[in-house]
Amino acid sequence: MTHQQKQTYPKFVGNYQLGNKLGAGFSGAIFRAWNVHNQTEVALKLQPIDEPCPTNRYERGFYPALQGGKGMPTLWASGVQGPWDYLAIDLLGRSLDSLHRELMLKQDVWDLRSVCCIAVQVVSPFPPFLPPPSFPTQGDVEFDSLPYSNSLQPTPFSSCASSDVDVPNAAPPKIDRLRFMHQRGVLHRDIQLGNCVLGLESNEKTIYMIDFGFSKFYLDQRTGRHIPDSNEPRDFIGNYWFSSVRVHCRYKVPSRRDDMEALALMLIHLLTPGGLHWTRNGVPRTDEAHERLMREKSSARPEDLCRGLPPVFEDLLRYCRRLDFLARPDYEHWISEFREVADEYGFGDVEEFVWPSPFPEPTVRVTAAPKPSARKASGELKDVLHGLANLQLGTERQVLGERHNLVNRDSPGAPEAVANGKGTDKDAKGKSKAAAVIDLVSSDEDENAHARTQAQAQTRLTKAARLAQLAREMAAATDNAALARLVRAFVAVMQENRSKMLTKEGFAVLDALHKQLGDPSVFVAPLRTKARASGASENAEVDTSGRETRQGKMNKLWRLGTEVRMAASNTQLAGMVAEFGKVIDRSSGRTVTKDGFGFLNALAQRIEALS
């Protein structure tokens, strides 16, 4: 905000009487207001006309293109009166930023259901309601109406200069967000928690996008052509936390891929204790601080940012960074990925944003390396951590010949640049870097936050420690009867836990079993590899990113469950364990499903029968 502290705001603007202030932004303030004729409540965005950054004026230009999409606020009136430029838009509820700040007083990350829901709603799953246009497009640009055409929109807004025009709203058809905006030729360019706002009353489960002050038409309004890329450095427009590395740190021209990357970073932020590490020192106040922030942001590797999360987050981030400037993001694919993760974790339908969450417990969190202070953990916790860090899966007959293969995103020694600080976005102070030891607890420097998360870490540790123990016993087993018993114990541990995700400790159990069934005397490559995409072409049931499709996973697990009953030797069973491990590794969420448990139970029976 610039002038607002000095401003005295009017009591009436246009047809509206101003109420309390709802918020203030970069260059304006926003008030609850009532239409004096019909008492309809709106949010009134007010800005002095001489504001050097006249975002209201810019924003007004985008509303006509965005009217009618669910999750897009209706513009009821706009104009200039005296020294004020105003926009009257739908009155909305709390922003995700406000929910985030409140939630962080209680826990260190969001629950996975809510995050999947934000992903699904903000990316937008459904096609818009207007038919596709028949005017020229370039390449794979997709839009469904003239992006700038007011006349095609069922909008209550008429681009009046100074008089209000209030027209009844058309029923919003379907959920629309980024996809909708992009189809209308608009880039948001300022995706952040504060710009995702919940609706009120009957719309309380809908996330709205607000604040189009930084938006831009990326399609030429006359020809429908995509704006050109450029190598000329340009001023950065966006926000420090989530704007894409390309736009923020390399000064590139934003396109659709950058809105998607900002969304990906925002989602990862919600699942990271203390938030993305470059957000922890607050808004940079000096050029030096900004440079440092950019360095941290651009050097952060997706695998480090997403360690411990279902792979869809890392995949989405990588995908956005690989997309061409002109490319249309595959919104549908990512929607289905997030739906699938939600499904695999047992959340069911995530179309509606329910708050408070029906599954409030944090299900997953980024598991960064602990810093020295975090290593002051209680003796017991420390012992377990060290035990796991030094996990020896059979010292004489080493099961994992190349254990560093398993490091990748989960294990010791990987990230050299995980900066750990405290606090959330704007109130953080300290920051330090630490070498990775093992990623089982949050790296939050704040002891209180650590204590808060310890109970949750214990839950995970219980599963991790039990699986690690099983892997050791598996490596030491000397006959099939013992192996069968251990497979059943493995199933029990996995089923007891709410998260059915196969963690690195789970893969260690499979590795040990694979080794024992195959040939206990020779090296067997670990089942879990980082290069999941390498198997992509060998099977039509994996998608373009190398991920098992849901159907593919089901088919393979079902087939394995059938074939395992007919296996004639331990070697054949070893092959099936390897295949099982690969299917799980390549699936979204890496969860063991009902069919997976079916296979494991049948495997235990068969191992026993072959003894």
Residue ranges binding ligand ATP (CB under 6 A): 22-23, 25-28, 30, 43, 55, 73, 89-92, 95, 194-195, 197, 210-211, 213
Region for 13 from its dihedrals, namely left if φ exceeds 0, alpha if ψ lies in -120 to 50, beta otherwise: beta
3-state secondary structure of 416: coil
Q: Is 216 annotated as a binding residue?
A: no
Task: List Cα–Cα distances, 518 to 110, 513, 571, in angstroms.
Answer: 42, 8, 5
Using Cβ positions, the residue closest to ligand ATP within the complex turns out to be 25
Q: Which is nearer to ligand ATP, 58 or 558 (CB)?
A: 58
Is 598 exposed, middle or buried, given 0-12, 13-18 or 19+ CB atoms closer than 10 A? middle
Q: What is the DSSP letter of 275?
A: S
Q: Which is nearer to ligand ATP, 210 or 437 (CB)?
A: 210
Q: Which is nearer to ligand ATP, 43 or 316 (CB)?
A: 43
CB of 208 to ligand ATP, least distance (A): 7
Please list, residue by residue across 321-359, b when 16 or more beta carbons sit within 10 angstroms of its beta carbon and e when fewer do: bebebbbbbbbebbbbbbbbbbbbbebeebbebebebeb
Any idea what the Cα angle at residue 280 is, between residues 276 and 285, rounded to 5°?
125
Task: Report how far residue 270's alpha carbon sits from residue 117's, in angstroms, rounded to the nearest whole number.
Answer: 12
Task: Report how far residue 209's alpha carbon sits from residue 196's, in angstroms, rounded to the nearest whole number.
Answer: 5
Q: Which is nearer to ligand ATP, 210 or 493 (CB)?
A: 210
CB of 315 to ligand ATP, least distance (A): 30
Task: List Cα–Cα distances, 262 to 55, 105, 217, 258, in angstroms.
Answer: 21, 25, 18, 6
CB of 1 to ligand ATP, least distance (A): 7
In single-letter form, the type of residue at position 69 comes to G
CB of 400 to ligand ATP, least distance (A): 50
Element (H, E) at 7: none
Q: Which is nearer to ligand ATP, 178 or 197 (CB)?
A: 197
CB of 45 to ligand ATP, least distance (A): 6
CB of 115 to ligand ATP, least distance (A): 20
CA 419 from centre of chain: 20
Q: Which is nearer to ligand ATP, 25 or 61 (CB)?
A: 25
Q: Which is nearer to ligand ATP, 2 or 469 (CB)?
A: 2
Q: Which is nearer to ligand ATP, 88 or 116 (CB)?
A: 88
Pairing of strands 29-35, 41-48: antiparallel
DSSP letters for 418-451: -EEE-SSTTT---EEE------SS---S-HHHHH
Residue 23, beta-bridge partner list: 30
Task: Report how far residue 41's alpha carbon sits from residue 73's, in angstroms, rounded to the nearest whole number.
Answer: 13
CB of 214 to ligand ATP, least distance (A): 7
CB of 409 to ligand ATP, least distance (A): 33
Binding residues, by number, are 45
Binding positions for ATP are: 45
